[in-house]
Amino acid sequence: MFQRVLIANRGEIALRILRACHELGIEAVCVYSKADRDAPYLRLADRAICIGDAPARDSYLNISRIISAAEIADVDAIHPGYGFLAERADFAEVCRDCRIEFIGPSPEAMRLLGDKVDAKRTAKQARVPIFPGSEGAIEDEDEAVEVARTIGYPVIIKAAAGGGGRGMRVCRNEASLRSNIRAAQQEALAAFGNGAVFIEKFLERARHIEVQVVGDKHGHAIHLFERDCSMQRRHQKVIEEAPAPGVDRKKLNTVCEAAARLIKTANYAGAATVEFLMDEDQNFSMLEVNTRVQVEHPVTEMVTGVDIVKLSIQVAAGESLPLRQRDIRLDGHAIECRINAEDPDRDFMPCAGRIERWELPGGPGVRIDSHVVPGYRVPPNYDSMVGKLIVHAPDRPSAIRRMARALEEFEVGPIRTTIPLHRRLMQDGSFRQGGIDIHYLERKLKQETG
């Protein structure tokens, strides 16, 4: 096992990884930018090293500074968390060249599954259901039109290297497809440094269901069942839950097994998420693979009892997966609400500033993953999530009641947060029924503002 790990991240996920390291008897080295110099979790680190100024490119995205910190602290491994450098194959490669273990997949496996076109090809090999669409990247307009003719409109144009919900265009007819394809290629080149685009069938009313998987370096792979993340705003997840409500369990198990097969085919070691959209007839199509631990991993931890962050460290250290598929059972229901420092009454404008009041809920089945303490100042430089509230209960209705109760106890001020929105969503009839689609929240918010 590693003796010392550097955590190349900040905020709640840095604290989450630090806790996992300490439980495994590993020393945790934190890095921080000048904007985070007073972050309370730094006191828990065995060593904390300043790596630069507030802008992420000068600190958390700066590969040479992070590697320098790793060499100064003499660590065995680096955990990237999510965001920042987590999905940068070039960073994983630099780690390898410096003989520092990257806690995540090999650069080869990351490239294979991180590129959407390559991932679809590998998925096909592994018999994972994918969207009907182009085989590989689209060369020109005529090819796009030909593919659209066979799969039918509407179609969506996507960038092979796309991410963060950017670079996608929906086309409802041939004229729109013709006028969009070149622009999409140029936009992809400018935004992602790779002009490859592809098209696939666009689903009007879909649910987002994703599968947590973990592989080791000895060719084993398991799944930890699925999460439903359909409550979204601008392609950003707002609430996540496990298991997915109202879907045939047999069908879900088939998809979960396919996801495990995919990472096995890709020779993938580490934690990953295989994302799917499910249509109204409960047909699944793979969207993409995220080659890292995700924000919403705690809901899976609550229903399976597996510590995904610890597992990611253990497999990176070369250990075999300590669990077989049949050892993993679903227990009850878990929900996560992302608490963002944003004002829901002002179009979710980020609210940086000092948090004076921070009164946390507690009691049975309540978990908080957050780096915030009273008096904490939210820096304006990074994303606005200040914590995650997770509940676990024997079934979905009691999990919703528990979440509603916990949200009532949760008091934050004077900055505005998304807590009032979550309180309303726990009372929402469609959410309570289960099975909302990915555009539900946007429709609801639009209706309410007139």
Burial of 61 (0-12, 13-18, 19+ CB in 10 A): middle
Task: Give residue number: closest CB to ligand ADP.
Answer: 203
265, 255 contact by CB (below 8 A): no
C-beta of 54 vs 151, nearer to ligand ADP: 151
Q: What is the sign of the dihedral through the CA atoms of 105, 107, 111 and 112?
A: negative
Our CB check for ligand ADP shows the closer of 134 and 304 to be 134
DSSP string, 259-301: HHHHHHHTT--EEEEEEEEE-TT--EEEEEEE-S--TTHHHHH
Q: Which is nearer to ligand ADP, 3 or 173 (CB)?
A: 173
Least CB distance from residue 266 to ligand ADP, whole Å? Answer: 18
- Give residue 166's identity as a one-letter amino acid code: R
Q: Which of 161, 399, 438, 441 binds ligand ADP (CB under 6 A)?
A: 438
Of 171 and 306, CB closest to ligand ADP: 171
Q: Is residue 131 at the binding interface for ligand ADP, with CB under 6 A as the rule?
A: yes
Contact region with ligand ADP (CB under 6 A), list: 30-38, 156-164, 329-337, 390-398: 156-164
How many residues belong to the site for ligand ADP (CB under 6 A)? 20
| Cα gap 396→432, rounded to integer Å | 9
Start-end of H helices in 84-140: 89-97, 107-114, 116-125
165 binds ligand ADP (CB under 6 A): yes
* Ramachandran category for residue 62: left, alpha or beta (phi over 0 → left; psi -120 to 50 → alpha): beta
Whether the CB-CB separation of 60 and 11 falls below 8 Å is answered with no
With respect to ligand ADP, which residue has the nearer C-beta, 115 or 216?
Answer: 115
- DSSP letter at 203? P
Q: Phi first, then psi: what are they for 262, rounded to 5°? A: -60, -45
Q: Which is nearer to ligand ADP, 80 or 133 (CB)?
A: 133
* Contact flag: residue 286 with ligand ADP (CB under 6 A): no
Q: Please identify, among the stretches 163-171, 215-223, 257-265, 304-312, the one whose residues bind ligand ADP according to the rule CB under 6 A.
A: 163-171
Of 163, 350, 353, 434, the one binding ligand ADP (CB under 6 A) is 163
Give me the active site residues, please. Answer: 292
CB of 101 to ligand ADP, least distance (A): 27
Q: Does 164 bind ligand ADP (CB under 6 A)?
A: yes
Question: Residue 302: which of 243, 387, 215, 223 has the closest Cα?
Answer: 243
Q: Judged by CB under 6 A, does residue 162 bind ligand ADP?
A: yes
Shortest distance in whole angstroms from residue 381 CB to ligand ADP: 22
Per-position x/- string for 79-118, each x denoting binding to ligand ADP as judged by CB under 6 A, each - no binding: ----------------------------------------
CB 83 within 8 Å of CB 293: no
In the list 187, 288, 336, 437, the residue contacting ligand ADP (rule: CB under 6 A) is 288
Interface with ligand ADP, residue 354, by CB under 6 A: no
Which among 17-25, 39-47, 165-173, 308-316 is the span making contact with ligand ADP, rule CB under 6 A?
Answer: 165-173
Select from 155-163, 372-380, 391-399, 424-432 the region that touches ligand ADP (CB under 6 A). 155-163
Q: Determine, following the binding rule CB under 6 A, whether residue 336 of this chain makes contact with ligand ADP.
A: no
Angle (nearest 5°) at CA 360 between 329 and 332: 15
Q: Is 440 in the site for ligand ADP (CB under 6 A)?
A: no
The one among 16, 65, 79, 208 contacting ligand ADP by CB under 6 A: 208
Residue 234 is a binding residue for ligand ADP (CB under 6 A): no
Q: The tokens 């009532």 sit on which residue?
A: 408
Distance CA 26, CA 308 (A): 16
200 touching ligand ADP, by CB under 6 A:
yes
Q: How far apart are CA 17 and CA 147, in angstroms?
A: 45
What is the closest distance, in whole angstroms, from the C-beta atom of residue 154 to ligand ADP in the complex? 8
Spatial distance between the Cα atoms of 339 and 383, rounded to a whole number of angstroms: 11
Task: Provide the strand spans (E) within 301-352.
Answer: 333-340, 342-343, 349-350
Query: Is the link from the previous residue into 154 a cis peptide, with omega within 30 of 0?
Result: yes
Q: Where are the alpha helices (DSSP H) in 98-171?
A: 107-114, 116-125, 141-151
Instruction: For residue 275, state whether it binds ligand ADP (rule: CB under 6 A).
Output: yes
Residue choice 37, 234, 235, 357 for contact with ligand ADP (CB under 6 A): 235
Contact call for residue 202 and ligand ADP (CB under 6 A): yes
Closer to ligand ADP by CB, 33 or 290: give it: 290
Stretch that binds ligand ADP, among 75-83, 197-205, 331-339, 380-388 (CB under 6 A): 197-205
**What tokens were used for 433?**
């029924």
The CA–CA distances, whole Å, from 217 to 25, 267, 292, 320, 414 equal 22, 8, 16, 7, 48
Q: For tokens 């991932």, what's the residue?
A: 119
Binding residues for ligand ADP, per CB under 6 A? 131, 156, 162-166, 168, 200-203, 206, 208, 235, 275, 277, 287-288, 438
